[in-house]
């Protein structure tokens, strides 16, 4: 007897089967079927750390001598990558799976959620691995407040997902806007305090930078890692939560309105 | 049982809302193979998408207790950067086939498509004939009450057509199909009745020849 004729599956079973199938499909295409792609994902952060430590390590030492620069960098960079991959990669999740929506079980939201799952799993592995490498090199990398760190990371994932979902739905069929959003990736990297400590900047500048919710979350992350890290007093979890919820609600509403258009090529 | 009840479907275009169907009621006869014909833009593909559960009607419903396949066509159903094998596995996962059931289906499609080592190469490198072999074989790997077939056989070579015919004869003992085609020979060969779509209405012709001549007669009149 075939699996189909064995009777009806419950909605939960179908949902799980679809997410699993899409997850496998995303995993297979993410590295373009080669081991070099996989190795690159693993080693990219370490390469960055090496280059940046050589370039900026001594400069950093004059600002906050209590925290070793590689550790400072990693605790900013990996959470940032997690956010970045979610916010920007989810944008293309629907288009990349366009052919698969002929199966009535597969909906655009499944494509977005399964890609988010893959990015979270992938970046978590890279995050842990990078910290382990630093630990093996003799740095102190264990977070001082692990539970809080998990909470902050969860908020970071939700922020990335909400923005990714919103971008995916709002920019569907307008590739020019998409290209513009992609351009914002590099400046965001510098404006989020990944490679330097923001508290070293003048106050007038900081005031503007604090509009960026990712900066808040990176500050909080570092606060969870290092007991001595001077988290900016203006950092506000409420602001980030509100920002996240606004994008999430907008994204979900727009998805509901445009769910039919999403499955057709614009 | 397969019925359209007060079905309305429209699309937004640059020139405003365009209605494909407006309050359409139609009962598909049971236990026969149905040929769906009509001019380009008559709504054949839209109807297939509605039957396949991809699109939802603006109002009204497709009412059925039958298991209906996805629309088997050349346009969709595949992820181009994956191989045919991976695409087949994907569809098996989605339809709840696991383990031995999954492997059996993959072997079935591989054997039916008969495209050699291309089966493990990315689908975007396939010719349209190879795509149609995989698309058709994949749909035949599952049991449905209705197969929605959209022009897949039109691009196949002679050998593939023979194979399709044999496969159909086997499958159609228990199942039926709804075939969209502009090739009237295919319609004559496989279908027991014909449904002609025009201007948002559906007309059933119990006699295939009568349906075809109604369609061709109109096409000729409009051409002249």
CB spacing of B70 vs A103 below 8 angstroms = yes
In this prediction, residue A2 carries a pLDDT of 42
In this prediction, residue A31 carries a pLDDT of 80
> CB of A14 within 8 Å of any CB in chain B?
yes
Count Cβ atoms below 10 Å from residue B163 Cβ, excluding itself.
Answer: 18
Distance from CA of A208 to the nearest CA of B (A): 42
pLDDT above 90 as % of chain B: 26
Bridge-based pairing of strands B193-198 and B201-205 is antiparallel
Nearest Cα residue in chain A from B10 = A260
Distance from CA of B76 to the nearest CA of A (A): 4
> CB of A106 within 8 Å of any CB in chain B?
yes
Residues 6+ apart with CB under 8 A from B209: B188
Q: Which helix (H) or strand (E) holds B209?
A: helix B208-223
Distance from CA of A25 to the nearest CA of B (A): 7
Q: Which residues of B fall within a CB distance of 8 Å from A13?
A: 96
CB spacing of B52 vs A28 below 8 angstroms = no
Distance from CA of A206 to the nearest CA of B (A): 45
Q: Give me the mean pLDDT over the B77-102 stretch.
A: 90
Residues 6+ apart with CB under 8 A from A58: none
Residues 6+ apart with CB under 8 A from B221: none
Mean pLDDT (chain B, rounded)? 86
> CB of B128 within 8 Å of any CB in chain A?
no
Nearest Cα residue in chain A from B82 = A29
Residue range B162-193, pLDDT digits in tens: 888 888 888 888 899 899 988 888 888 888 89
Residue B100 CA to residue B199 CA, distance in Å, equals 48
Residue range B93-150, pLDDT digits in tens: 999 888 899 999 999 999 988 888 899 998 888 888 888 889 888 988 988 999 998 8
Instruction: Enter the pTM of the model.
Output: 0.88
Nearest of B93, B92, B90, B71 to residue B79 by alpha carbon? B90
Neighbour-count burial for A17-48, b at 16+ CB within 10 Å, e otherwise:
bbbbbbbbbbebbbeeeeeeeeeebeeebbeb
Nearest of A216, A223, A221, A220 to residue A239 by alpha carbon? A216
- The partner residues of B179 in beta bridges, in order of sequence, read B35, B149
Question: Which one of A5, A18, A260 has the shortest CB-CB distance to B55?
Answer: A260
Q: Which residues of B fall within a CB distance of 8 Å from A103?
A: 70, 77, 91, 94-95
Instruction: Show the DSSP H helices in chain A as ranges.
Output: 11-30, 35-63, 69-89, 93-96, 108-136, 146-170, 175-183, 185-191, 203-209, 213-225, 237-262
pLDDT above 70 as % of chain B: 95
Nearest Cα residue in chain B from A16 = B94
Distance from CA of B192 to the nearest CA of A (A): 26
In this prediction, residue A70 carries a pLDDT of 85
Q: Which chain B residues in 142-171 lie under 8 Å from chain A, judged by CB atoms? A: 142-144
- Per DSSP, the residues of A168-184 read HHHTTT-HHHHHHHHHT
Question: Which one of A5, A99, A260 has the shortest CB-CB distance to B79?
Answer: A99
Nearest of A119, A115, A47, A118 to residue A83 by alpha carbon? A119
In which residue are the tokens 């430590």 written? A53
pLDDT (tens, 9 = 90+) of chain A, 266 residues, equals 344 445 678 899 999 999 999 999 999 888 876 778 788 888 888 888 888 877 776 666 656 667 788 888 889 999 999 999 999 999 999 988 988 999 999 999 999 999 999 999 999 999 998 899 889 988 888 899 999 999 999 999 999 999 999 999 999 878 889 999 999 888 898 888 888 778 778 888 888 889 999 999 999 999 999 888 888 888 899 999 999 999 999 999 999 999 888 887 65
Contact A44, A131 (CB under 8 A): no
Nearest of A171, A22, A149, A167 to residue A88 by alpha carbon? A167
Residue A220 CA to residue A243 CA, distance in Å, equals 16
DSSP state of A85: H
Q: Give me the mean pLDDT over the B78-92 stretch.
A: 91
Residue pairs between chains A and B whose CB atoms are closer than 8 Å? 84
In which residue are the tokens 């079980």 written? A105
Decide which of A85 and B13 is more confident.
A85
- The partner residues of B4 in beta bridges, in order of sequence, read B26, B62
**Coil, strand or helix at A144:** coil
Question: Which one of A3, A18, A263 has the shortest CB-CB distance to B54?
Answer: A263
CB spacing of A100 vs B70 below 8 angstroms = no
Bridge-based pairing of strands B146-150 and B16-28 is unpaired
CB spacing of A263 vs B143 below 8 angstroms = no
In this prediction, residue B216 carries a pLDDT of 82
Contact B35, B191 (CB under 8 A): yes
Sheet with strand B201-205: strands edge to edge = B68-72, B146-150, B176-180, B34-37, B193-198, B201-205
Question: Which one of B52, B81, B96 has the shortest CB-CB distance to A102?
Answer: B52
Q: Which residues of B fall within a CB distance of 8 Å from A32?
A: 81
- The partner residues of B73 in beta bridges, in order of sequence, read none
Sheet with strand B16-28: strands edge to edge = B16-28, B2-13, B59-64
Q: Give me the mean pLDDT over the B18-35 stretch.
A: 89
**Helix A237-262 × helix A146-170 angle, to 10°:** 40
In this prediction, residue A228 carries a pLDDT of 85
Q: Which chain A residues in 202-261 lie under 8 Å from chain B, judged by CB atoms? A: 260
In this prediction, residue A63 carries a pLDDT of 60
Nearest Cα residue in chain B from A19 = B94
Q: Which residues of B fall within a CB distance of 8 Å from A102?
A: 52, 54, 70-71, 73, 76-77
In this prediction, residue A1 carries a pLDDT of 36
- The partner residues of A197 in beta bridges, in order of sequence, read none
**Complex ipTM value:** 0.86
The token pair at B21 is 């169907």
CB spacing of A3 vs B95 below 8 angstroms = yes
In this prediction, residue B222 carries a pLDDT of 54
CB spacing of A103 vs B91 below 8 angstroms = yes
In this prediction, residue A231 carries a pLDDT of 85
In which residue are the tokens 């199909």 written? B177
Count Cβ atoms below 10 Å from residue A228 Cβ, excluding itself.
Answer: 9
The token pair at A133 is 């490498």
Q: Which chain B residues in 48-67 lie under 8 Å from chain A, judged by CB atoms? A: 52-56, 67
In this prediction, residue B11 carries a pLDDT of 85
């Amino acid at each position: 007897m075939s699996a189909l004729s064995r009777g009806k599956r419950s909605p939960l079973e179908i949902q799980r089967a679809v997410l699993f199938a899409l997850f496998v499909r995303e995993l297979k295409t993410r590295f373009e079927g080669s081991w070099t792609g996989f190795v690159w994902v693993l080693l990219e952060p370490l390469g960055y750390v090496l280059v940046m430590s050589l370039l900026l390590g001594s400069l950093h030492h004059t600002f906050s001598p209590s925290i070793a620069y590689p550790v400072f960098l990693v605790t900013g960079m990996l959470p940032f990558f997690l956010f970045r991959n979610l916010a920007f990669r989810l944008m293309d999740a629907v288009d990349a799976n366009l052919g698969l929506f002929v199966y009535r079980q597969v909906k655009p939201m499944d494509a977005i959620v399964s890609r988010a799952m893959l990015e979270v799993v992938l970046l978590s592995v890279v995050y842990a691995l990078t910290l382990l490498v630093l630990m093996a090199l003799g740095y102190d990398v264990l977070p001082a407040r692990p539970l809080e760190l998990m909470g902050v990371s969860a908020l970071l994932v939700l922020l990335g997902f909400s923005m990714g979902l919103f971008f995916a739905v709002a920019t569907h069929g307008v590739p020019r806007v998409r290209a513009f959003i992609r351009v914002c990736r590099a400046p965001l990297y510098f404006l989020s305090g990944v490679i330097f400590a923001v508290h070293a900047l003048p106050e007038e500048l900081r005031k503007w930078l604090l509009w960026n919710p990712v900066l808040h979350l990176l500050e909080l992350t570092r606060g969870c890692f290092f007991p001595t890290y001077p988290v900016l007093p203006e950092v506000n979890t409420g602001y980030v939560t509100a920002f996240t919820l606004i994008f999430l609600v907008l994204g979900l509403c727009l998805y509901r309105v445009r769910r039919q258009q999403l499955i057709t090529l614009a | 049982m397969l019925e359209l009840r007060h079905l309305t479907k429209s699309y937004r275009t640059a020139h405003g809302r365009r209605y494909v169907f407006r309050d359409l009621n139609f009962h598909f006869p049971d236990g026969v193979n149905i040929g769906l014909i009509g001019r380009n833009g008559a709504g054949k593909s839209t109807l297939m998408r509605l039957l396949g559960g991809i699109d939802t009607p603006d109002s009204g419903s497709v009412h059925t207790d039958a298991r209906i396949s996805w629309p088997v066509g050349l346009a969709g159903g595949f992820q181009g950067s994956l191989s045919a094998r991976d695409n087949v596995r994907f569809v098996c996962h989605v339809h709840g086939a696991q383990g031995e059931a999954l492997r059996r289906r993959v072997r079935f499609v591989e054997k039916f498509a008969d495209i050699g080592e291309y089966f493990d190469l990315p689908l975007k490198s396939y010719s349209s004939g190879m795509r149609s072999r995989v698309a058709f074989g994949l749909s035949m790997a599952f049991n449905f009450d209705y197969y929605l077939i959209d022009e897949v056989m039109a691009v196949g070579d002679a050998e593939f057509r023979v194979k399709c015919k044999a496969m159909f004869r086997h499958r159609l003992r228990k199942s039926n199909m709804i075939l969209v085609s502009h090739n009237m020979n295919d319609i004559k060969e496989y279908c027991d009745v014909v449904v002609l779509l025009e201007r948002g209405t559906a007309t059933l012709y119990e006699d295939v020849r009568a349906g075809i001549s109604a369609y061709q007669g109109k096409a000729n009149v409009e051409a002249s």
